[in-house]
Chain A
């Protein structure tokens, strides 16, 4: 029963959602929007599970003084601070339990939640995102090391695209006559991005689409059950 009921629901819901893709008439479109609403409601309740998991994991590490427990303490304090500020004084246009905190706003310029969001969360997030530039450089260096024909081709293509996407590209080959414009770096880079690159990406997308069809069919028909935790 524990296994067959979810399988039954997966079949019914999967089939209805599939049909609704091709039948615009009610009740199919309404059922799909209702199901999406249900998912949002369940997600809302599930957030509580996430918070419980977060608090339990962190308190366990702090209580047992496990290695690096200080980080977990910092995480819990940050969580509690943001939660309390949000609940007490709200955020942006939304008032909190204690209203809009005009006194604090006059002092900080913003509500406490928004102040921390703008001055702590956003810079931290941007810092992490900016690391990407360095990671791209180190990953590109490894990818472009010449080992064989493929990596050679990869490196040549990458150099053309990099140069073509910068002003140096225009400077290098800007003097080429009209009939040789195809070899102008920016045009070559555009050609590579528009044709070979798009073709390869579309091939991946088409095969992924087929994989999704097969995977969904296996789930709807109950052949694929491992997402429920077991095969049988």
Chain B
């Protein structure tokens, strides 16, 4: 009677042990800084504790869970290093320890971004193609952008009234592409103000932007042949603080009463405070930003608003350079491509096919 019972107990123990597994694998297609851990234990497990044990370092507990199976990614590791993991499973009367190790490996490609790369390449090739076509003399139709056409009107009004123009290049630093786009617009605007001998005031929030803005305006005045009219003190630093910067600009608007205000670049909560104060002073206002949340404020309070893409197209549009205008045609191609992808994606999703969505979203199935 005892022998079959012992056999049964032995077999059940074996099956219990066989059901338990713990593995560690290098995360595929990454920068070699993470390892994927997965475990499959008997449902009778009460608690699972996973820790990392490396060399002489004390063991670091990564996870404490009651789930009998699951996965976990250990991040922020060093590339090309071997890591050892220990899983402790606590059962009612017993506990079990499982070990696993893996080596992190740097990969040469983020496979999850393949969809983005293909899209980017197609759009870049299209832009380069249209630039080349423009170089070859092909003319493209570019729709009018009222916010940029108004620049002449704003400068003219400021000149007539003998008032300055205020140009705010956003509140982000030079590492924001919107600030770069803003500086390219400033270059064109400063050239026109130099021609009309109208004063331009450029308050800056960051010192890097200040240096770049000074150089841009100075070069624009040189280009217009009016270096004598260039006033370095009109491009100045106010403060790094967001609301301090806004208070400073509001003060300038109320004291100097500029005839035209330009708010181009990246704006956040201060957008409405700036634009509404400008509206109260009666200035003609033009704003441009790619911050979707701030656009409604600008649309309401400004005479003209450059929406998203128009901010980046502004320099090309203003330069009237056929090569740059050609690149705008490339944007249109990109838009067409994305519209097509959305339509095809929606149809495929309705049909229950998710491959395209997963491919674009960077999900590796």
* Chain A residues, CB < 8 A from B32: 24-25
Contact flags B164-202 to A (C-beta < 8 A → 1, else 0): 000000000101010011011001100000000000000
Interface check A92, CB cutoff 8 A: no
With A53-B236, A214-B327 as contacts: A224 and B334 at CB distance below 8 Å = no
Asked if B335 and A53 sit within 8 Å, CB to CB, the answer is: no
A-B contact count (CB 8 A): 205
Interface check B153, CB cutoff 8 A: no
How many residues on the B side are at the interface (Cβ–Cβ under 8 A)? 86
Q: Which of B106, B273, B312, B321 contacts A214 (CB 8 A)?
A: B312
Instruction: Give Cα A47–Cα B295 distance, bound, in whole angstroms.
Output: 30
Asked if B331 and A214 sit within 8 Å, CB to CB, the answer is: yes
Q: Which of B188, B210, B315 contacts A49 (CB 8 A)?
A: B210
* Chain B residues, CB < 8 A from A230: 187, 219-220, 222-223
Instruction: Give Cα A140–Cα B299 distance, bound, in whole angstroms.
Output: 11
* Chain A residues, CB < 8 A from B30: 24
Chain B nearest Cβ from A202, distance in angstroms: 8
Interface check A1, CB cutoff 8 A: no
* Chain A residues, CB < 8 A from B290: 204-205, 208, 211-212
Asked if B177 and A212 sit within 8 Å, CB to CB, the answer is: yes
Asked if B334 and A210 sit within 8 Å, CB to CB, the answer is: yes
With A49-B211, A218-B327, A224-B315 as contacts: A138 and B184 at CB distance below 8 Å = no
Instruction: Give Cα A201–Cα B210 distance, bound, in whole angstroms.
Output: 31
Q: Which of B113, B123, B237 contacts A50 (CB 8 A)?
A: B237
* Chain B residues, CB < 8 A from A213: 120, 123-124, 127, 331, 334
Asked if B292 and A201 sit within 8 Å, CB to CB, the answer is: yes
* Chain A residues, CB < 8 A from B212: 227
Among B94-102, B138-146, B239-247, the stretch that binds chain A is: B239-247
Instruction: Give Cα A48–Cα B211 distance, bound, in whole angstroms.
Output: 11
* Chain A residues, CB < 8 A from B207: 43, 46-50, 53
Q: Which of B238, B241, B312, B330 contacts A208 (CB 8 A)?
A: B312
Asked if B307 and A204 sit within 8 Å, CB to CB, the answer is: yes
Asked if A135 and B272 sit within 8 Å, CB to CB, the answer is: yes
Interface check A215, CB cutoff 8 A: yes
Asked if B109 and A23 sit within 8 Å, CB to CB, the answer is: yes
Interface check A136, CB cutoff 8 A: yes
Interface check A207, CB cutoff 8 A: yes
Instruction: Give Cα A91–Cα B283 distance, bound, in whole angstroms.
Output: 42
15 further A-B pairs in the complex, CB-CB below 8 A; given A71-B251, A213-B127, A214-B330: A50-B206, A135-B276, A138-B276, A140-B300, A205-B308, A206-B338, A207-B331, A207-B335, A210-B334, A212-B290, A213-B331, A224-B315, A226-B315, A230-B220, A230-B222
The 4 closest A-B pairs by CB, nearest first: A229-B219, A211-B312, A50-B207, A24-B31
Q: Taking beta carbons and an 8 Å cutoff, which residues of A are in contact with B?
A: 21-26, 29, 39, 42-43, 46-51, 53-54, 56-57, 60, 67-68, 71, 124-125, 128-129, 131-132, 135-136, 138-140, 142-143, 201, 204-208, 210-219, 221, 223-224, 226-231
